[in-house]
Amino acid sequence: MIGKLNHVAIAVPDLEAGTVVYRDTLGAKVSEPLPLPEHGVTTVFVALPNTKIELLHPLGEDSPIAKFLEKNPSGGIHHVCYEVEDIEAAAAKMKESGARALGDIKIGAHNKPVLFLHPKDFCGTLVELEQA
């Protein structure tokens, strides 16, 4: 069912510092910051030859990333995102298999439907599914 790895998301306490590490130290191409108020984050995407890194920074007091950074003040891997051909079919399969979705299907940073899955059902890893 899952396709390719779309991105690995890393929560960062300082978005500009994270951008500098990937752009200036590692020489990667990075996007401009993109605020996503409906998700409570600002993102920067780092383009790699075979996937992307998504740097996540809290946007607003209710940001899930703010809560993550309280527990992990230096930042760290927040989630992995896999592509699926049909997000509705994937959501139905997850429900059928007993996996727990965290909320409903929403539009993500790439303007495509996404669904987050509970880390307790996926080896301790928060999983995002994104329609390809």
Catalytic residue numbers read 128
Phi, psi (rounded to 5 degrees) for 67:
-65, -40
112-120, long-range: CB < 8 A, 24+ apart: 113/87, 114/81, 114/87, 115/87, 115/90, 115/91, 116/79
In the chain, DSSP assigns E strands to 2-11, 29-30, 34-36, 41-47, 52-58, 76-84, 106-107, 113-117, 127-131
> CB–CB of 13/70 below 8 Å?
no
Whether 51 and 7 have beta carbons less than 8 Å apart is answered as yes
